[in-house]
Amino acid sequence: MEDTAVIVAFYVLTIVTLGSALMVATVRDLVHAVLFLVLSFVGVAGLYITLSADFVAVVQVLIYVGAISVLMLFAILLTPRASRDNASVPYAAPIGVLAGLLGAVIIFVALKTDWATAPGGNKFETTAAEIGKALLDPFVIPFEVASVLLVIAMLGAILLVRPGEGGEPG
Amino acid sequence: MIGLEHVLVVGALLFSIGLYVALSKRSAVGILMGIELMLNSVNLNLVGFARFVESPRPIDGQVFTVFVITVAAAEAAVALALAVSVYRLRESIDVDRLNILKW
Amino acid sequence: MPLLFWYDFDPLHSLYNWLRDNTSSEVVYVVAALVAATGILSFVGLGALVNVWLERRIIGRMQVRKGPNRVGPFGLLQPVADAIKLIQKEVLQPRDSDRALFNLPPILVFIPAMLTFSVFAWAPDLVYADLNVGVLFLLAISSITSLAIFVAGWSSNNKYALLGAMRVIAMAISYEIPLVLALLAPVIFAGTMSLAGIVDFQREYDVWLAFLLPTSLFIYAIAATAELNRTPADIAEAESEIVAGFHTEYSGMKFGLFYAVELINSLAVSGIVASLFFGGYSLYGLDDYIPPWIIFIGKIYFFYFGLIWLRGTWPRLRIDQLMAFAWKMLIPMALINIAVAATEVLLWRQLEWDNWVLGVFVAINLVTMVLLIGFFFRMITRDFYRLPRRVRLVHDVSVPSLPATRPAAGS
């Protein structure tokens, strides 16, 4: 990835993603936090595009921004008397230190390891076609299991929020 | 020149921010936001590996990413359904107040 | 370079050649991208203006009256008058509304509308962004619209706006599923998700995908009409019901942006239908004589006329009718359509049958569509008035049953 444009895009998208992730942690209002989360999702989708993963980037926007964010906003909406002020627990500072330490350890290990990088990186012609072939030939069982999982999750979610018995209190 | 290390560093930073959000928020929706950030960082690492690492079938990283996105969607749906259902009983989704099962 | 068409005027070509010879390829790329974007966005902007006039005149004609005809000759300056009126209105912001979030939705809802035009193929070499995942890109960015509508409803601090926004989002996400499923079938036939590739497929095999996949066209047309919040699915703007829905509190040019975005989205949907189902810029060989982009723009406005026709003719449907239609009729139809299309492509490509078998597929798919529509229509209207009406977002209103469905007196 030697193009100047790709490098500039990568850094800009990194700043957008990490900045909005930090805003998720610190902003006062819960709805604002969800919207900053949406911005970080879009940033991550842009990072996928700089890494030649166009299909995954579009799937990320479609599912995360289009569905999961709407789901979170609905959940905030359907809980009107819950507190909406994105508060942190009192012991948040040690957690910050812990998370920072963990991030530092991961960065150290990642930089030290000798990854078997292919020279010049891997080139894909059409990632969608290759992902499709991989989903049907080597990964067909996880594919089918994932569809069963989605059906189960859908049924579970519907059963939990159905009015009537008021959910399953047990 | 963007290499694998840049992607892994970004992934690690996103993961630590997600971990902080997941562990330190009071609202159930806030915790879910942290979990989604962590899953995004993992996906970023996987896509970076698919792009840069020598492998007999390099598309596997992106396939794994699609599966992680799918599972994240399913888990978010169930988690939010649980949050709404608990709200109906206790009128709050503050996880510090949902402590009926304490010893 | 010989002049092929009257519009191949020289300065643009000589500028391009000068840039290519004297500066690096990045500068050429950036300048070409900017010029092309200006061209496409000017079409979009002009399209919004023209559509205002077209819609009001044509709907007026369909309602046996003249449309606006005072402001210019034939009312042609009516859009200008509308724009001036909206610009000079007082821009109100409710006191308790969310300050930061109130200004975001008009911008956020404009972005997907503009981005849709970047993947269209205007001519054989004239695609702004020939993405490999073009169709999926269109679907992904149209799902951002529901987020913008939610923020609009939320930040108004107004119960009716929020209610209107919830209804619109519920309808939008319900109709996204048949939309995605219906657009999978052309992708299966063409073997590629890029719009230029699908138009190439239709040009190569001399068959429009509207004939090969009429079910997909039917489902997509209806689902896109619902996504656009146009009649017969425009409960978002049902003025008699929820004041003005999610854009109640928006005045002046912010409302003007919502209105313009609806028109631009209609143009985009017409463009998608023209590209995917009706051959894009090709017209059975006529595109060697007429500039292809003129054919494409003609097709876009033809289908936009179809959308206006729907709006002027059909009454508005209720929200539960719309949801029942999406979940119980369109989704099973779309799934069966995908199965049929995949089987046909398998037989055609794997067994390498000749191309005349596409004609057989046309006949089979047409019969399948008629059977599917007949079956599902009978199924969802059979006991419609006895279905429980679980309207949860407003208090349940008990509606007296219609005389035709009450049990006959004395039986």
Nearest to C384 by CA among C313, C325, C339: C325
C294 φ, ψ to 5°? -70, -40
What share of chain A in percent tops pLDDT 70? 95
C399 φ, ψ to 5°? -100, 130
C-alpha torsion C46→C47→C50→C55, nearest 10 = -160
Average of per-residue pLDDT across A141-165: 90
Average of per-residue pLDDT across A20-43: 94
C314 or B67, which is more confident? B67
- Residues of A within 8 A of B62 (CB-CB) are 53, 55-56, 127, 131
| Residue C383: predicted pLDDT | 61
Nearest CB to A89: which of B24, B47, B63? B24
pLDDT tens digits, A64-110: 999 999 999 999 888 888 878 888 888 889 999 999 999 999 999 99
Average of per-residue pLDDT across B16-23: 95
Spatial separation of the C-alpha atoms in residues B18 and A99, rounded to whole Å? 9
Residue B101 pLDDT grade (very low, low, confident, very high; cuts 50, 70, 90): confident
| Residue C330: predicted pLDDT | 92
Question: Which tokens is C190 given?
Answer: 């063409």
Strand-pairing partners, residue C127, are C121
pLDDT tens digits, A106-138: 999 999 988 888 777 788 888 888 899 899 889
Contact call for B81 and A89, based on CB within 8 A? no
Nearest CB to A66: which of C98, C137, C144? C144
Neighbours of chain B (3+ CB pairs under 8 A): A
HSE value, Cβ hemisphere, 13 Å, CA-based, for C112: 29
CA-nearest residue to A135 within chain B is B63
Three-state secondary structure of chain C = CCCCCCCCCHHHHHHHHHHHHHCCHHHHHHHHHHHHHHHHHHHHHHHHHHHHHHHHHHHHHHCCCCCCCCCCHHHCCHHHHHHHHHHCCCCCCCCCCCHHHHCHHHHHHHHHHHHHCCCCECCCCCECCCCCCHHHHHHHHHCHHHHHHHHHHHHCCCHHHHHHHHHHHHHHHHHHHHHHHHHHHHHHHHCCCCHHHHHHHHHHCCCCHHHHCHHHHHHHHHHHHHHCCCCCCCHHHCCCCCCCHHHCCCCCHHHHHHHHHHHHHHHHHHHHHHHHHCCCCCCCCHHHCCCHHHHHHHHHHHHHHHHHHHHHHCCCCCHHHHHHHHHHHHHHHHHHHHHHHHHHHHHHHHCCCCCCHHHHHHHHHHHHHHHHHHHHHHHHHCCHHHCCCCCCCCCCCCCCCCHHHCCCCCC
| Residue C10: predicted pLDDT | 63
Contacts of C58 (CB under 8 A, 6+ apart): C67, C305, C308, C309, C312
Below-50 pLDDT ranges, chain C: 1-3, 240, 411
B68 or C227, which is more confident? B68
* Mean pLDDT computed over every residue of chain B: 92
Contact call for B76 and A72, based on CB within 8 A? yes
C406 φ, ψ to 5°? -75, 150
Residues B35, A40: contact at Cβ < 8 Å? no
| Residue C195: predicted pLDDT | 92
CA-nearest residue to B21 within chain A is A25
The ipTM assigned to this model is 0.93
CA-nearest residue to A96 within chain B is B20
Strand-pairing partners, residue B94, are B27
Nearest CB to A70: which of C141, C147, C392? C147
Average of per-residue pLDDT across B56-80: 94
Strand-pairing partners, residue C121, are C127
Nearest CB to A128: which of C132, C139, C146? C132
Name the C residues in 150-209 with CB < 8 Å from any A CB. Answer: 150-151, 154, 162, 166, 169, 173, 176, 192-193
DSSP per position, B15-44: HHHHHHHHHHBSBHHHHHHHHHHHHHHHHH
| Residue C393: predicted pLDDT | 63
| Residue C1: predicted pLDDT | 42
| Residue A141: predicted pLDDT | 94
Contact call for C101 and A35, based on CB within 8 A? yes
CA-nearest residue to C392 within chain A is A163
Q: Is B35 on the interface with A (CB under 8 A)?
A: no
Separation in Å, CA of C176 to nearest CA in chain A: 10
pLDDT tens digits, B20-52: 999 999 999 999 999 999 999 999 999 999 999
| Residue C22: predicted pLDDT | 79
Spatial separation of the C-alpha atoms in residues A53 and B49, rounded to whole Å? 11
